[in-house]
Copies of this chain bind each other. A is one copy, B any other.
Amino acid sequence: MSRAHATFEIAVDLVVLTVRDGRLAVLLIERGNEPFRGRPALPGGFLRAGEDLLDAAARELAEETGLRGITPDLRQVATYAAPGRDPRGRVATVAYLAILPDLPVPTAGTDAAIARWAPVGPGPDGLAFDHDRILADAVEHARRLLEDTPLATAFCREPFTVAELRGVYEAVWGVALDPRNFHRKVTGVPGYVEPTGDLRSLPTGRPAALFRRGPAEALYPPLQRPRRSLPAPQGD
């Protein structure tokens, strides 16, 4: 077997999403080293000897957020290996999507990197490397996953109310949903959420029933996000 092939280092980059103040937010670090020193970037790091991709993603997540012992929802999104995407040499990166409930503060990582939550906007954010592209791909991935997987519950601390879950959908999809119909849909999907039997009182209003995640791994029927498909009367 010829060994004329290129050799790579493999990194894992994390797109850590949460909902803060009703807005979708992503965890960014400020790069402390060249290249792109001082520029915001997705957290991540290199694969170690004997380590699998998912293990590396979980390790990096623990290191960057300081969380231990949690089993967050981690999903592989895509792999990027374009020549020149990293000025240091041939580095391929595997992007993982991680969903967390709102954390009080991202507890600046052990790597002395400055971590912060940044709102996810529609346009590019000037991230290092090709991270703008990776972020956009991952957010679109998350939007799709909300439709037919119980991913949205990963944004919520248990137990949660239906209104909190609705806030996740509204923040990630960027649309307003009818509270009444949403309630019925969510509670009507077998295995999506299970009532705990408890209630939670807010400062005002009727107390909301509390739920935890159910056993379903896929949502049927799916919660389809609204799309405008109306053909314009004058054509398109």
A-side interface residues toward B, CB under 8 Å?
A: 1, 5-10, 33, 46-53, 76, 78-83, 88, 92, 94, 190, 220-221, 227, 229, 231
Given A1-B33, A76-B78, A79-B53, CB of A48 within 8 Å of CB of B6: yes
Complex: how many Å from CA A5 to CA B56?
A: 12
Q: Is the interface of A mostly helix, strand, loop or mixed?
A: loop
Closest to A46 in B: B5
Closest to A82 in B: B52
**Contact at B33–A53, with CB atoms within 8 Å?**
no
**Contact at A8–B5, with CB atoms within 8 Å?**
no
Which of the residues B1, B10, B80 comes within 8 Å of A8, measured between beta carbons?
B10
The 6 closest A-B pairs by CB, nearest first: A5-B46, A79-B79, A6-B49, A220-B229, A52-B82, A7-B7
**Contact at A48–B5, with CB atoms within 8 Å?**
yes
Complex: how many Å from CA A8 to CA B11?
A: 11
Complex: how many Å from CA A61 to CA B8?
A: 22
**Contact at B227–A83, with CB atoms within 8 Å?**
no
Contacts of A220 in B (CB 8 A): 227, 229
Most B Cβ at <10 Å: residue of A5, A33, A221: A5
Can you name 20 A-B residue pairings with CB atoms under 8 Å? Answer: A1-B33, A5-B9, A5-B47, A5-B49, A6-B10, A7-B7, A7-B9, A8-B9, A8-B10, A8-B47, A8-B92, A10-B81, A49-B83, A52-B83, A53-B80, A79-B79, A79-B94, A81-B94, A190-B231, A221-B229
Which of the residues B49, B76, B83, B221 comes within 8 Å of A79, measured between beta carbons?
B76
Contacts of A7 in B (CB 8 A): 7-9
- Shortest distance between the CB of A149 and any CB in chain B (Å): 12
Complex: how many Å from CA A94 to CA B9?
A: 14
Contacts of A52 in B (CB 8 A): 81-83
Contacts of A33 in B (CB 8 A): 1
Most B Cβ at <10 Å: residue of A46, A76, A79: A79
